[in-house]
Amino acid sequence: MTENPDAAGGTSGGGQRRELTVRLVVPEMDCPSCAQKVDKSLQRVDGITDATLQPTTGTANVTYDPDRTSEADVVKAIEAAGYEVVGGSDAEGDERNQETDGVDIAPPSEVWTSPRAKKTWLGAAFVTLGLLFEFLLTGQNVTVASVLEYPLHIADVLFLGAVAASGIPVVRSGYYSAKNRSLDIDLLMGTAIIAATGIGYFVEAATLAVLFSIAELLEDYAMDRARDSLRELMELSPDEATVLRDGEEVTVPAEEVDVGETVVVRPGDKIPLDGTVIEGESAVDQSPITGESVPVDKTAGDEVYAGAINEEGYLEVEVTSTAGDSTLSRIIEMVQGAQAKKTESEQFVDRFSGYYTPLVVVLAILTAAIPPLVIADPVSVDVAGYGFTFAGDWQTWFIRGLTLLVIACPCAFVISTPVSVVSGITSAAKNGVLIKGGNYLEAMGEVDAVALDKTGTLTKGELAVTDVVPVGDTTEGDLLRRAAGLERRSEHPIAAAILARAEEASVDDFPDLSGFESLTGKGIRGEINGETYYAGKPALFEELGFDLSRTRRETDGGVVAEDASSSNDGAFAEDALASLEREGKTVVLVGTESELLGAIAIADEVRPASKRAVERLHELGVERVVMLTGDNEGTARAIAEQVGVDEYRAELLPEDKVDAVEELQAEYGEVAMVGDGINDAPALATAEVGVAMGAAGTDTALETADIALMGDDVGKLPYLYDLSHTANGVIRQNIWASLGVKALLAVGVPIGLVSVALAVVVGDMGMSLGVTGNAMRLSRIEPDHLVDT
């Protein structure tokens, strides 16, 4: 339970109104009609200001004014709708249920051994015996009692026993539905069972009660399976942590660890909280958070996330966030919140079912009442070569009206979209992709063009040495030694890249440097062993008298000087520097006033997966892939050619990226923008879907993007599009299959082709299982490994 002291509204004293929010677990609230019933009951409680009901998780978030109502009243309202509350805490902090307080999803249920299941199996046994006496042991089916002069045989008593065992829970739920004015499956089925029993149709009443109870159990099982994916996500976070306190290791609940404390993580343990490594080194499997396919090496100073698995080494981690604020906790919270955002398909289904159910109920009543009044004698009709006889007896048309009443329930139709959304979103979260709403899942699958930022998206966002080109008698080691010796005093990112390359090459015996000077916009210089050395742009060395025109000769139409003759022009191969520059690399020359030692090329390296990701997007059906960057034309062209985008736009300011996205929308349709979530925020907001790269541990990216790729892996983009596109197909299949089957059954009822049993087994139970099973297919979609790891 959380307190919101800043809520709008005043108290009698003129201050701000205090509001409390409680999260309650309601396991049996597992379908939209259940949630609707609970919502109507909550609306009648004065003081409740907001209620978010999530049948896919079996939870209810209720915000209320404690001066006008209490949590006890909230719980009573939910129970008045016919559902048990198993978690929550009241405003004074007293726990209702120690085991479930604070949980974020209904606990696993023992579907097949629950009290409801036992009553169902008892009812099924009674029906089986009743049918045995009714149709096989007719001689033993004797009268055992009578009610109002109506004889009751053994079979009748058994059927009534089945109604009592399996039907009473249905009728009870129907009572609560009627009480809350909710025209749902429970009310329809309860009405049908009572009506059939009341006029002596014991076989139909018992069959309906048992089959519907079995259907309910199967739907509960299917929903529990859907909830399993969320439970798996929540189970990633350890419950306990080993903390160093006063020099000793103490095992405590993870939520009791404070920021700044040190936790110990041994090989094979899960990291309990977000933090920074302060001692030890290890490979850490952080795929539960970022979806990375290989463990990541962690040493002192590196970030680690709660839920990641320590593979081999010993680590001591300084905690940087509490259990409730960890990256994993935020992911779980956002995944749960995502289900509350209805997609366009869900909104359509809600509107349609609002008309569908009342219409079919009226049709059922008319079917039961009108034909017996207007058909005096049997009427034979020939339809497509098939003969049908319509009689006017009440029993026949009552059964057909009863069957239509069963078909009137849009249960499978209503759950077709939510189960698909929860399956898709939780599957994505387990693969390092956080989708913050079903509407974004749906929208991503419909995009026609994808706009990609360059730096940090297609490239790594970090400068690195790509080429070391010594000339003359200079070796790579000598070149790196002189360059690193000069750059040690510089704080430029290029200097960091050169020093990193020198370290990789085990070059560490740097010469002594004196007289260091930064030449703004050109490079640096300093004295080594009494001689002045320079490191900088080719233009700096041209000022020193070197003629580099031949080595910088353009081969794509550029113009160079014709008098390329000098003792220094043979230092590099012809076109060598131009070739590096055409690849978008920054060239740093190293030498003295009289001698060139060589060149070092530096670039923001293209991610290994970028080229294949672009190719895969095209294969999946994305019409246009465009790179947007603020970088210069040459670099943009080189990167674009390397990764294979359809077009690129360079030297763009943030507002220019917005214009580019709007142009793509006008030309192609719906656009997804992929960037870092901060610098590209305007463009991300303008696109139909904004996708942030590398959002793990980044609060801003998690909050601002519609979808977040938790790791720096652009290779997840095709997976995201594939998942979303497939999810849209599954949603459409579920919706139209549900409608189609209901329509066929409804057409078959008046002509006697559909029985009550068939309506329950196919129209309700079968379709509910079908749409759930179809939705579960989304969990089998996995990211492609676009590079050889």
Catalytic residues: 453
Q: Write the DSSP string, 692-724.
A: EES-TT-HHHHHH-SEEESSS-TTHHHHHHHHH
| Contact between 40 and 181 (Cβ < 8 Å) | yes
Q: What angle do CA 156, 161, 164 make, to 5 degrees?
A: 130
Could you tell me where the beta strands, DSSP code E, fall in 225-302?
Answer: 240-245, 248-253, 262-265, 275-279, 282-285, 296-298
Helix (H) or strand (E) holding 423: helix 411-430
Residue with tokens 């479930």: 100
Beta-carbon-side half-sphere exposure of residue 171 (alpha carbons within 13 Å): 18
How many CB atoms within 10 Å of residue 43?
12
| Contact between 17 and 97 (Cβ < 8 Å) | no
How many CB atoms within 10 Å of residue 628?
27
Residue type, 315: L
What's the 3-state SS for 641-682?
HHHCCCEEECCCCHHHHHHHHHHHHHHHCCEEEEECCCCCHH
Nearest to 536 by CA among 596, 610, 625, 478: 596
Nearest to 212 by CA among 33, 27, 401, 406: 406
Report residue 604: phi and psi, to 5°.
Answer: -80, 105
DSSP-based three-state secondary structure for 628: strand
Residue type, 736: W
CB-count exposure of residue 131 (10 Å: 0-12, 13-18, 19+): middle
Helix (H) or strand (E) holding 771: helix 767-776
| Contact between 603 and 466 (Cβ < 8 Å) | yes
Strand pairing report for 624-628 and 449-453: parallel
Distance CA 690, CA 727 (A): 18
Distance CA 502, CA 72 (A): 68
Nearest to 644 by CA among 672, 671, 606: 606
Give the C-alpha distances (Å, rounded to integers) separating 405 from 175, 360, 412, 755, 759: 16, 7, 15, 12, 9
Report residue 195: phi and psi, to 5°.
Answer: -65, -45
Mutual orientation of helices 71-80 and 32-43 as an angle, nearest 10°? 130
Strand pairing report for 707-709 and 433-435: antiparallel
Q: Structure tokens of 499?
A: 């020093």
Distance CA 478, CA 469 (A): 11
Nearest to 483 by CA among 540, 523, 542: 523
Beta bridge partner(s), residue 242: 251, 264
| Contact between 693 and 675 (Cβ < 8 Å) | yes
| Contact between 654 and 666 (Cβ < 8 Å) | no
Nearest to 182 by CA among 54, 69, 29: 29
Mutual orientation of helices 115-135 and 154-162 as an angle, nearest 10°? 160
